[in-house]
Amino acid sequence: MMKAMITMMKTTGHPALLAAVAALLLVRPAPALARLRLVALPDREDVVVNLDNPDVALVQEERTLTLQEGVNQVDFSWKGVKIDESSIRFESLADDPDALTLLAVSYPPGEDALVWDVHSAEAVDAPVRISYLLDGIDQMVTYTAVADREETQVGLQSFLVLRNFSGEDFGHATWLLGYGDAFESGSRHEETKRVSFFNRDEVPIVKQFTWDSAEMPHEPDRQDEAVGIPVHYVIENTAASRLGEHMLWPGKARVFQHDGHGSTIFLGEDMARFPPVGDEMRLYIGNSRDIVVTQRRMETRRDNIRRDNNRNTVLYDEVRRDVVTIENFRDSAAVLDVIQHMEGQWKMVNSTHDYERQDYKTLRFPVEIEASDEVEMELIYRVKNIIERAPHPLLRYNVPR
């Protein structure tokens, strides 16, 4: 009928009416393509969210698609969801690897969507896995450590604070952190959730005092106020400490102690650094003024002096003797880490205490001090090849004006 109308208008000479009818034909709606949308699929059967990477989440979801024999167009859209479109993958989980074939992928213009052309050998309900990288999921690890009254062990509990701003709702999902046990939980868009996933009792600790020569005053009696020594609980991430199965992520830690009356007292808060398996986690709990450290240089002498042809000193070695006095005013023994920072090309000549190298110029001396006792630590070391700083030539020689 429409064709007859156009033929009639051509013969009767009505170009305006012809143009109007042609326009109506151009805007006639095309048949809509059926879509399987990401946020509306009722058959999302299993979802695993892997948070190994703190910047982006890997989502793997399993669905069952009802496919007809031949080529099927499966549309996957993510409007309002922060998916990296270049990361989307389609995988068949059918027992027969030749049952499904992915022929092509196309991206409709102006849409957050893609269309898979999937060939099915027969009409079938096919299990598939869709995976993609998802932005907008913010995770933060926190710890709660409760020490016993004797400060020999803690109950250590870890929580995951999960914030979902991805645009996606997960009614139920399995969450993986790369360590610890997987846990199951839902997470809706714009929801914040705190999940307990790690809990260990009777984890051994060492209460450690640390004096760093680069940060602490060497003569505290000359300070206007009392100098406190930083105190940490040290937890080894090993199997012997009932840990060590997985790495522990960095996170905020709140430390408490049992007061012996059925309650706890708050000791402090710290940002625990990343402790891999075999390493240690250090939790700062405050400063102690019951230990006083004084360091003085008792001797400095030049050795192995090298001169130029004019008998001027060019290079020399320097032998130094430092004495560290440690006083423990506590009614119990303590372990103090004395951190020394060496200069230049150094070599230890003699030390009254054992040490370990943290790097090429940093030494750690673990010193045990009994209650109400005093310990003196002496170290003699050589700094090699020190360059003599000659005065300016105009000051060293008589130069005619």
Tens-digit pLDDT profile for residues 209-243? 999 999 999 999 898 888 999 999 999 988 888 88
pLDDT at 92 over 60: yes
Q: What is the DSSP letter of 83?
A: B
CA 33, distance to chain mean position in Å, is 44
**Cα separation, 66 vs 96, whole angstroms:** 16
CATH 2.60.40 boundaries in the chain: 44-134, 292-387
Residue 37, both tokens: 């949308």
Residue type, position 330, single letter: R
Q: Count CB atoms within 10 A of the CB of residue 300.
A: 11
Note the pLDDT of residue 4: 39
Residue 14 has pLDDT above 50, yes or no: no
> How many Å apart are CA 156 and CA 176, to the nearest integer?
20
What CATH number does domain 44-134 carry, 3.40.1130, 1.20.120, 3.40.50, 2.60.40?
2.60.40
What is the distance between the alpha carbons of residues 242 and 235, in angstroms, rounded to a whole number? 10
3-state SS assignment for residue 252: strand
* Predicted TM-score of the model (pTM): 0.68
Q: Please, are residues 85 and 112 in contact by the beta-carbon 8 Å criterion? A: yes
Residue 85's SS3 state is: helix
Mean pLDDT of 170-199: 86
Give, as one character, the DSSP assignment of residue 391. P
The least confident of 9-18, 125-134, 184-193, 238-247 is 9-18
**pLDDT(325) > 70:** yes
Report the C-alpha gap between 375 and 165 in whole angstroms: 56
CB-based contacts of 259, cutoff 8 Å, min separation 6: 149, 265
The pair of structure tokens assigned to 93 is 């989980």
Write out pLDDT tens, residues 288-318: 999 999 999 999 999 999 998 888 989 999 9
pLDDT confidence of 43, banded at 50, 70, 90?
Answer: low
pLDDT score recorded for residue 23:
41
Q: Residue 275: what pLDDT?
A: 80
267 and 255 Cβ atoms separated by less than 8 Å: yes
Better pLDDT: 140 or 340: 340
Mean pLDDT of the chain: 84
Share of the chain above pLDDT 70, in %: 85
Q: Tokens 């299990």 label which residue?
A: 127
State mean pLDDT over 236-264.
Answer: 85
What lies within 8 Å, CB to CB, of 74 at 6+ separation is 36, 65, 90, 115, 116, 118
Taking residues 344-373, what's their average pLDDT?
95
Whether the per-residue pLDDT at 182 is higher than 60: the answer is yes
Give the whole-angstrom CA distance, residue 185 versus residue 176.
11
Half-sphere exposure of 242 (CA within 13 A, CB side): 13
Fold of 292-387: Immunoglobulin-like (2.60.40)
CA separation for the pair 213, 255 (Å, rounded) = 27
Taking residues 150-165, what's their average pLDDT?
92
CB-side neighbour CA atoms (13 Å) of 206: 18
Q: How far, in Å, CA of 74 to CA of 43, rounded?
A: 14
3-state helix, strand, coil in the chain (%, to 5): 10, 55, 35
Q: Which of 154, 159, 142, 330 lies closest to 257, judged by CA?
A: 154
Lowest mean pLDDT among 3-12, 119-128, 133-142, 233-242: 3-12
- DSSP assigned state of 218: S
